[in-house]
Amino acid sequence: MTPRTVLVPLLRENVAPRFDLAVELLLAAFDEDRAEVGRQHVMLAHSSADELCDFILRQGVNALIVGGIEEEYYHYLRWKRVEVLDGVMGPVNLVLDRYARGRLTAGDILFERRDAGAL
């Protein structure tokens, strides 16, 4: 079985808040047991939602984990049979770990909470 490929647009070490503005991407491959078998960082020359959709399809991406995505692109990728987990926020390593365990869902916010009184 071929590895399952997951794409995460990045903003530093976190899931990017907007799909259409991302220029740094992480491609992660998972085997049939959901163990991570590889990572590749990709830098784009400029941000473009249309070009990012084309990249996703050319790379054979199975799942997209993203913060925010316009409805048009969400439906287009779903129509192309790409699983889209949107509304996800947090550190990419934590997000991918939860994905690997089958516990990541759309809307998950994985940042640690800080005590507001400590500011």
Judge contact between 82 and 64, C-beta under 8 A. yes
User: Which residue blocks in the chain are alpha helix, DSSP H?
Assistant: 49-58, 71-79, 92-100
pLDDT digits (tens, 9 = 90+) for 21-35: 899 999 999 998 888
Residue 30 amino acid letter: F
Domains of the chain: 4-110 (3.30.420.130)
Verdict on whether the full-model pTM lies above 0.95: no
pLDDT digits (tens, 9 = 90+) for 54-105: 999 999 999 999 999 999 999 999 999 999 999 999 999 999 999 999 999 9
Q: How confident is the model at residue 115 (pLDDT cuts 50, 70, 90)?
A: low
The secondary structure of residue 89, as a DSSP letter, is B
Give the torsion through C-alpha atoms of 44, 49, 50, 53, to 10 deg.
Answer: 80
What pLDDT score was predicted for residue 34? 85
Give the torsion through C-alpha atoms of 48, 49, 53, 59, to 10 deg.
Answer: 40
